[in-house]
Amino acid sequence: MDRDRSDPVLNANDEWAIEEALQIAERTPDTEIVALCMGPDEAGSTVRKALSYGLDGAIQITDPALSGSDAAATARVLAAALAGQEFDLILMGNQSSDARTMLVPAMLAAHLGLPALTFARHLEIDGDVVTAHRETPAGYQVVRATAPVVVSVVEAINEPRYPTFKGIMAAKKKTIDVRDLAAIDVPATQVGLDGSATAVVDIAPRPPKDAGRIVADDGSGEVGAKAFADWLVEQKIL
């Protein structure tokens, strides 16, 4: 969830995870897709948005004590919420659009004792064998594991669809399974600011920069290029 905005929005990276789940369900009959979200009450609208894509159900973990949880505490809560649930695949975005730590998928997998096929830009499922192409700086790595597995996806994996009107209307009628910490058996001391392993010392706005030097080119490219090269020399790049 993006706390930067006044309205909670579905994390963009999670939209690709939802799209991938829908495509898998279209290829694989009897697939059930359930959304899992940890977030404050207001995140209910985000869960509803997820449901509007045509998911079968949703679980929302919400509790005032969760506020300020770091990635480790978040992974602990998600793992606890999944205890006792049956699943073959956990799909998630590779990072949240606000904190962007990229930690939660691997941490969740570690809690559950499952393989983490992270940064997937392509996914194949053959029976219970899951194959992912993990994006690397220089290409990709093909990895294979047997379900159940945790998969995190990157933007390149698909093009998310828009919810249909029918889906939006159906989502309004669906029940979200809302649970608090007690329901998933996580002590409040293990979450939130106090239960997190990291702490913020202080936060400050980025110091303002001096205004840059902007040069207008004359249309030939030469004036701009010469000024640019002069600046590169000044900055000791050249």
- For the segment 59-78, give every residue that binds other proteins (CB under 8 A): 70-72, 75
Q: Which is it for the CA torsion 57, 63, 66, 72, positive or negative?
A: negative
Out of 121, 163, 176, 191, point to the residue binding other proteins (CB under 8 A). 121
103: tokens are 């930690």
Smallest distance, Å, CB 7 to other proteins?
A: 16
| Per CB under 8 A, 45 contacts other proteins | no
Nearer to other proteins, 111 or 171 (CB): 111
Stretch that binds other proteins, among 44-52, 58-66, 126-134, 169-177 (CB under 8 A): 126-134
Q: Which residues 9-38 are close enough to bind other proteins by CB under 8 A?
A: 12-13
What does the radius of gyration of the chain's CA atoms come to, in whole angstroms? 22
Smallest distance, Å, CB 169 to other proteins?
A: 29
Query: DSSP character for 41?
Result: G
Smallest distance, Å, CB 68 to other proteins?
A: 12
Residue type for position 56: D
Say if residues 115 and 152 touch (Cβ distance below 8 Å).
no
CA pair distance 12, 209, nearest whole angstrom: 30
With 0-12 / 13-18 / 19 or more C-beta atoms within 10 angstroms meaning exposed / middle / buried, residue 44 is middle
Stretch that binds other proteins, among 84-92, 130-138, 170-178, 180-188 (CB under 8 A): 130-138
Q: Which residues 152-181 are close enough to bind other proteins by CB under 8 A?
A: 154-156
With 0-12 / 13-18 / 19 or more C-beta atoms within 10 angstroms meaning exposed / middle / buried, residue 102 is middle
| Per CB under 8 A, 205 contacts other proteins | yes
Residue type for position 228: F
Out of 34, 106, 168, 183, point to the residue binding other proteins (CB under 8 A). 106
Smallest distance, Å, CB 86 to other proteins?
A: 19
